[in-house]
Structure 1
Amino acid sequence: MKTAIVYASVHHGNTKKVIDAMVKGYEVDLIDAAKDADRDLSSYDLIGFASGIYYSKFHASVLDYIAEKLPENKDIFFVCTKGAGSKFKLPKSAEEALEGKNPNIKGGYSCKGYDTFGPFKLIGGLAKGHPDASELEEARKFFEKLYKGL
């Protein structure tokens, strides 16, 4: 199954750590949304979108990819890291970017990630030491289950 993950991992590399752990042992194309804005996604069977959460939104480069490059009727999934909370909830910004795409959303994974964005920098950040080993293992299991379930 041809798989890609479009990601943005900007401040501390949290998201990249998670997707690297997630896809270890699988052939997956990792696409940095900020550096490779022109990749054609039409040949992929499964497409992931991964980002840190910034003021309740995915990174703008990932949202642009969803809105502009995601073909209709694709199997997709989401991954996010955030300073607080770990339960996955698709941000409204991603829902809006998906409008008219008719995707088959296969799931989402979320975990804490060290966060010094905006005002959190003033207090030394949130979720220091995250993602940790157990969160990376959970990410790996999420992807394995997702990949084998298709």
Structure 2
Amino acid sequence: MKSLIIYDSAYKNNTEKIARVLANKIDADLLSLKESKGVIIEDYDLIGFGSGVYKETISSKLFDYVEKLNLRGKDVFVFSTSGVGMKFYNKKLIHLLESRGAICKGSFACKGSFNSREFSDNKIFELMSKFAMGHPNNEDLIKAEKFVERIVRQIKE
């Protein structure tokens, strides 16, 4: 099975850490949207799409990239990093992927460290940043590996 991981990691490279772990685990090609090199989507059986969460949403660059793809019948998955590490941020991207004909096989999210003072003076964000400090950590990376292993196993069955 030929796999590709496409990601946008613009802040502290939290998402890039997860993307690299996923790619290494399943021997996938890796494409950062910063590189913006062309890729032939038809060559891949499984495609992962990942992003950090910026101002409560996945990267607009990733949405724009997906809008241009023909994903009919492609197996895909979504992953993200955020201050809270919740999968609900992935829903909008999953909906877009499915509207492009993709078959979403799963969704993964984990915390990513951030500096709250760079975004807000609100005390709640300061508290959230303390809980997210040091993430993604080894436990997050192991969970990411197990997630992608389940996806591959599911496709092969």
1:42-74: per-residue Cα shift (whole Å, max 9, x none)?
Answer: 221111100001122111221112111242221
Higher helix share: 2
Could you tell me which runs of 5 or more consecutive residues in structure 1 were left unpaired when the two chains were aligned.
none
Shift of 1:115: 2.1
Partner of 1:108: 107
Aligned residue identity for 1:83: G
Distance in 1, matches of 2:16 and 2:138, equals 14
- Aligned length, in residue pairs: 149
Higher relative contact order by CA 8 Å / sep ≥ 6: 1 or 2?
Answer: 1
Distance in 2, matches of 1:58 and 1:43, equals 25
Shift of 1:89: 2.2
Aligned residue identity for 2:139: S
2:66 paired with 1:61: no
Distance in 2, matches of 1:48 and 1:69, equals 13
| Fraction of identical pairs, as percent | 29
**1:115/1:43 CA distance change after superposition, 3 Å:** same
Aligned residue identity for 1:43: D
Aligned residue identity for 1:147: V
Partner of 2:78: 78
Query: Which residue of 134, 137, 149 corresponds with 1:132?
Result: 137
> Normalising to structure 2: TM-score of the pair?
0.82
Distance in 2, matches of 1:17 and 1:83, equals 15
- Larger radius of gyration between Structure 1 and Structure 2: 2
> Normalising to structure 1: TM-score of the pair?
0.86
Give the alignment's Cα RMSD to 1 decimal. Answer: 2.4
Shift of 1:92: 5.2
